[in-house]
Structure 1
Amino acid sequence: MSLTIVKKRKHIISLRDLSEQETLDIINRGIEYANGAVELGQQLAGKIIGIYFTKTSTRTRTSFSTAALRLGAQIIAYGPNDLQINTGESMSDTMQVLSRMLDGLVVRTAGSPEVLRAFANQKRMSVVNAMTQDEHPTQALADLTTMKQHFGELSGLNIVYMGEGNNTATALALALAKFSNIRISFFTPPNYHIDPQILQYAKNEGEGNNTIINEFHDLKFLPSDADVMYTTRWQTTGTAKTDANWREIFQPFAVTDQLMSKYPNAIFMHDLPAHRGDEVEASVIDGNKSIVFEQAENKAHSAKAVLEWCMR
């Protein structure tokens, strides 16, 4: 009797799980896809990938769906009410079954990354975190792909982030901490900060690479120079503000023409969706310093790199 050997798949649950080299490999492969340097169609031929989103998505869901199809895979899409988890089946049973039918599962959930670790507690199916409450790792991978494509290198970049310390901010901190000679300054409203434990983890890792990660709640600490100005929408998917006057609290952290004029050489980035007139002025996001739609397009190229890395 012959034994079937099942190759253990790789996962992307949190950026903390990836080494610097693994992260760089995904970024560089994403740039190759973005530059049209890779012939498409055979990388994931014969693979079947599940797309399971319990929260709304435009860019992430579309990027992973199109990435899988362009690499030769087939997809099955699940909505928030499609799986028997909703009727009481255990997560363990659900994942054990899916892992025997799918090669990969891309998941967006309102839970924590630890929920996805339960999804990954099997040996056959890759699991990709397409956003949890605490972290958005594939957004950061696409963002760093965009930065490296634009500047040529990540080392030496000076980045300013304005807005809530949400899952995008968390992912940026964790991703940038892996690389050397970077400075990122997070400017977040009081009480809307990055999780202190995650921030300290990123700061500690960054120090070993001569990368400086700081968080401020006062704009008087704005740096004198910046290469990238980054913001996200104030109403993060799946969250609600505790302060009735939260807009007044957030208003000083909007990216305006006046703020951008302080950094004449900086590009503008936004993970989208954007709310013009809230976190960013229309003249900024629609101006000639904005690369937000190149950034959005790179989500699809980065998704190709993520899926290929996980399943080949």
Structure 2
Amino acid sequence: MASTAARHLISLDDLTDHQLRSVVARGAEFAAGTAGRVRPLDGAIAGIYFRKTSTRTRTAFSSGALRLGAQTVTFNGGDLQTNTGETSEDTGLVFSRMLDVLVARTSGDPAELRAWATQSRMSVINAMSADEHPTQGLTDLTTLLGHFGRIEGLRVLYVGEGNNTAAALALGLTRFPGTELELRTPRGYGLAGDVLARALANAGTHGSRITERHDMAGLPAGSDVIYTTRWQTTGTSKPDPDWRDRFAPFQVNEDLWAGSPEAVFMHDLPAHRGEEVTAEVLDGKRSIAFDQAENKMHSAMAVLEWCRGGAGDDGVAR
């Protein structure tokens, strides 16, 4: 395994434009089966630490680490001495002395992960925080590249809550020239102001476009992708009792394809058929949601390889 200092991924903002493209391209190579049988994590130990539920992300990084040659140690929320009073800072220091990589979904606050990433021995990967789901964003970009052969110039309509998945999509997609991202979110459930500001800055730099509206009137025609996520984001609850009434107009159903008949459907899963999306759409021929789910593993492999210095910024394994 390469001996370079560990790299961390807490936010997509941690990646330069070139690194972002390299990791996405590498994920697409893993997905296409053209990456070769590389084992850049031979001899490494990867910690998989999830305080909150996960199916795709946890399985993706566990199986991805094993495929790249690492061994894994798994922790659940009740396993550690933080439950008996040890500080998070001390826990992070101990982890860094025994692990090479830590993939963590913790309290939802990225500050804890940032604190653990102040050392250079152990790579820290954010497996979802309250503000952003960076590895989902990389998965989405990998899926777009694999399906369309490009990301530049794609038009994406996102419908639903401006949650951590939407944040990662906004922060990632706007760094590709010519892309257009239109978000339709219920009022009070849009992108966080700082996320929208960062995405708008990206758009200004890279010649892309992002807009957000809080209604479903006048949907854009000619979208390449229609994307939604579960209304009840993992580990969260809605403060207002009538939130379902606010979200009901934002369901993804066949009507949304009237102006975009060639669009594919994406969903980060898990899905609740009959709520944010109809079964007809999720299980239909336009859906690539389960290809997207599989790409979580391929993207995880690209992230692990990059974090441990096993691939250069050009995405080529060393």
Q: TM-score under structure 2 normalisation?
A: 0.94
**Structure 1 pair 71/19, CA: closer, same or farther in 2 (3 Å)?**
same
Contact 1:44 1:308 in 2 (8 A): yes
User: How do residues 19-30 of structure 1 correspond to structure 2 at under 5 angstroms?
Assistant: 19-30=16-27
AA matched with 2:299: S
For residue 121 of structure 1, what is the aligned residue in structure 2? 118
1-structure distance, mates of 2:59, 2:136: 13
Unaligned runs of 5+ in 2: 310-318
1:260 Cα offset (Å) = 2.0
State the SS of the aligned residue for 2:181. strand
Identity %: 54
2-structure distance, mates of 1:51, 1:69: 12
For residue 3 of structure 1, what is the aligned residue in structure 2? none
Contact 2:174 2:181 in 1 (8 A): no
For residue 174 of structure 2, what is the aligned residue in structure 1? 177
1-structure distance, mates of 2:108, 2:268: 20
Residue 274 in structure 1 maps to residue 271 in structure 2 = yes
Residue 133 in structure 1 maps to residue 127 in structure 2 = no
1:262 Cα offset (Å) = 2.5
RMSD of aligned residue pairs (Cα, Å) = 1.1
2-structure distance, mates of 1:256, 1:147: 21
User: How do residues 181-220 of structure 1 correspond to structure 2 at under 5 angstroms?
Assistant: 181-220=178-217
Residue 144 in structure 1 maps to residue 127 in structure 2 = no
User: How do residues 242-253 of structure 1 correspond to structure 2 at under 5 angstroms?
Assistant: 242-253=239-250
For residue 83 of structure 2, what is the aligned residue in structure 1? 86
Contact 1:165 1:194 in 2 (8 A): yes
2-structure distance, mates of 1:202, 1:299: 23
Contact 1:7 1:124 in 2 (8 A): no
For residue 224 of structure 1, what is the aligned residue in structure 2? 221
My pick for the range that moved more, 200-209 or 285-294, is 200-209
For residue 234 of structure 1, what is the aligned residue in structure 2? 231
For 1:161, which of 158, 162, 171 is the aligned residue? 158
1:221 Cα offset (Å) = 4.1
Residue 98 in structure 1 maps to residue 71 in structure 2 = no
2-structure distance, mates of 1:92, 1:276: 41
Unaligned runs of 5+ in 1: 1-5
For residue 296 of structure 2, what is the aligned residue in structure 1? 299
1:250 Cα offset (Å) = 0.3
AA matched with 1:207: G
State the SS of the aligned residue for 1:131. coil
AA matched with 2:48: I
For residue 11 of structure 1, what is the aligned residue in structure 2? 8
Contact 2:4 2:308 in 1 (8 A): no
2-structure distance, mates of 1:192, 1:221: 20
AA matched with 1:8: A
For residue 67 of structure 2, what is the aligned residue in structure 1? 70
My pick for the range that moved more, 180-189 or 79-88, is 79-88
Contact 1:157 1:182 in 2 (8 A): yes
Residue 34 in structure 1 maps to residue 22 in structure 2 = no
* Superposed CA offset, 1:68-99 (max 9, x none): 00111000000001111121112221111111
* Superposed CA offset, 1:48-86 (max 9, x none): 000000000000000000000011100000000111112
1-structure distance, mates of 2:233, 2:250: 15
